[in-house]
Structure 1
């Protein structure tokens, strides 16, 4: 309780924690910024502490494996786990690219109760030339957590996660707790895979009807031509600085490609804005350093330009502004939009600004409009440009469904 740093649980924690303690499998969908990481870490660490006090824990391999899609998210979960297990004698380790395989193996074979990992590195460790880790991993695992499950089960790493879940020496589904957490759990493919690799007779499904954080104020800028975006971005940031008494707050700018990210960051720096860029072409050391500087509001790193995959792993509790320089252009643009905007408004009101260029974005407009309508912040010009008939309305606060029970 001392390590938690708070007294009252947030809604998702209040709903999830008892079911994990009682041994249920979980599929949990809750909007970004609601506290899902603590919702699974707290009961797992609590269970491990109780087991250790009762009969001791094996130190020969991970008892809990937590998978996340990016290094930034894995590092963030690792840090949260370290904070929560401080003084408990529960050990935690991490595994992702740019950590030497030898260093990973040394740490994991010595002592590791909770492992936070990227799927690529985990599969690498499980290859036959690392047979010692393969044996250790599968001996004692009782908890499997898949964070950001929507990305894993519908994105480019689907085959990797299926390869892992189908591993012949993985404990049977009903011999471990399978916990899926995500801002979105509404695609058919995701639910089919999650159900296949869960004990559906002992599962709880928790879904939030709120698609977006209610602390976020949404604005949409009507951009006639894409070439106008650079000047509009600078004007927008100048206005934000003026509203903040001449100080540039933390602003995250989202784009769709690394090339655009580099160009936007260079333009901002050339215009003397404290901007920097982050994406997967940079080394992990540089990415970690950039995020650290952004979190502590370094004088030269107050505006962070990012692509979606890296940006979704950056958790800054008091970030005030998100700017969607480009609207997500994937098949799940609605949920990527929600995730991007959810970088702000976590502990206090935030602002999400979106540049909408009809010529480029009309195909994604209905999806974005449904989010804004759900938040009761659909601009009149946007409403007039897109068809919003039949958009699903928010139906309630939280629904809980125990599969296996009528």
Structure 2
């Protein structure tokens, strides 16, 4: 849930909100055929609205140019189809399908309910804090925020939202748990709701894309987006590998798509099969860019970026846990005069997580893990290991001891991962054994303990791991088993979190 970011009562300097431009310039109606021969949606008379100077100073008329370019692309491609005698077929020669317009059910439900007013959600002003009320967000978004009980912005939200809501590009240095997901999702919703499409719409043409390095993280972002879209007509689609391609394609072509949350590989699949067009994308979000770099996804991300309008015609938001030379070079390629926001690690380490480090030999780790799991205060626990084979051995060992456990790693199918995570959320599984990659995107309230069977090789992963517990203001415990091979990684972790992490022998209760 998004709540973990907002429940952190972090202090932030109050920033004066900027109001987005409401200027609009009508555009010519778009072409009658869909780009790449894809299914076209039911159309409306009129024209696509223009955000004029919203995005950046001096950008007036760029939306017109982008729309004109998309229209030209459609006309050229459909001219080719007409010449081949197949103007009514898609790229694969299959009959064209008309797309259903989404949001009708939601509109009908809202029409039956009494209108919601912002006066129903009162949040007192607080020195040093920025309220969501202060940002002049669309009423439907504020309604969802009220349902979720969010009151004050986290530091990165207070710093970045006044700029991104005005259409400026942004690069943010922030780890997991800082509220960056909500920051970019609110920006996306603000833009799409304040600048609706007023002309012809086509299926498979999203207006915003969010790229995430792992399936779990992409799924979590999509769920968060749907929660914030609860009272809008916006349609969110999650495109990730390991799931049925045709089912995902149907979600793209059967309704208007506003927001696509995807892993790079699966979005490339859609692009290569010409099942999606990114020509009308307004906003590109790249989350965990450093992780993308580490996992070798940057070439795919570059390919995706090339499919979108040039950076002068779109808004780009990039978030990374670190600002390395490589990340800064990529940000220069993809953004235009971005606002730069940095949240230092010491501001994101959870104070309500009791961090314990026990010195043990490698052969003592497994028996100690069993004893930790058996403690009465351990209600649910995630055990992190550094390698897939290690997670498999831990899972099989715990299962042989009649422990209700599950496994999340790259060798497990996406369907099985989803089922396992749902069982963990419902309390059917007490122990979840996971790798760092598979564990990213796990946002479950009520996790009492996190156990690091090994210290991670990347210090950032330590921050991510312990952030799985102590969520929503609750107390949490992280236990790290520090063996002979782990000690050399401890110094880097201490440097990152900004404090000494003393190691000690396990207490007598675990002897």
1:3 aligns with 2:144: yes
In structure 1, the residue matched to 2:314 is 176
Contact 1:34 1:346 in 2 (8 A): no
Normalising by structure 2, report the TM-score.
0.66
Larger-gyration structure (1/2): 2
1:361 aligns with 2:486: yes
User: Is 253-262 or 28-37 further displaced after alignment?
Assistant: 28-37
In structure 1, the residue matched to 2:401 is 271
In structure 2, the residue matched to 1:12 is 156
Structure 1 position 76, deviation (Å): 1.0
Give unpaired runs (5+ residues) of structure 2.
1-141, 506-511
In structure 1, the residue matched to 2:379 is 249
In structure 2, the residue matched to 1:229 is 365
In structure 2, the residue matched to 1:209 is 344
Partner of 2:143, secondary structure, is coil
Partner of 2:418, secondary structure, is helix
1:108 aligns with 2:252: yes
Contact 1:32 1:343 in 2 (8 A): no
Structure 2 CA distance, aligned partners of 1:104 and 1:156? 24
Match of 2:182 among 24, 30, 38: 38
Alignment of 1:5-404 (within 5 A): 5=148, 6-52=150-196, 55=198, 58-60=201-203, 61-109=205-253, 110-127=255-272, 130-131=273-274, 133=276, 136-138=277-279, 140-165=280-305, 167=306, 169-182=307-320, 184-199=321-336, 201=337, 203-211=338-346, 212-223=349-360, 225-238=361-374, 241-242=375-376, 244=377, 248-298=378-428, 301-329=429-457, 333-347=458-472, 348-357=474-483, 359-371=484-496, 374=498, 376-379=499-502
Q: 1:345 to 1:29 in 2, by over 3 A?
A: farther
Structure 1 CA distance, aligned partners of 2:162 and 2:200? 22
Give unpaired runs (5+ residues) of structure 1.
383-406
Partner of 2:274, secondary structure, is helix
Structure 1 position 306, deviation (Å): 0.2
Structure 1 position 275, deviation (Å): 1.9
Partner of 1:253, secondary structure, is strand
Structure 1 CA distance, aligned partners of 2:381 and 2:485? 24
Structure 2 CA distance, aligned partners of 1:29 and 1:56? 38
Structure 1 CA distance, aligned partners of 2:399 and 2:244? 34
Structure 1 position 55, deviation (Å): 4.1
Partner of 1:65, secondary structure, is strand
Q: How many residues align?
A: 356
Judging by fraction of residues, say which structure has more strand. 1
Structure 1 position 194, deviation (Å): 2.1
Q: Over the residues paired in the alignment, what is the CA RMSD in angstroms?
A: 2.1
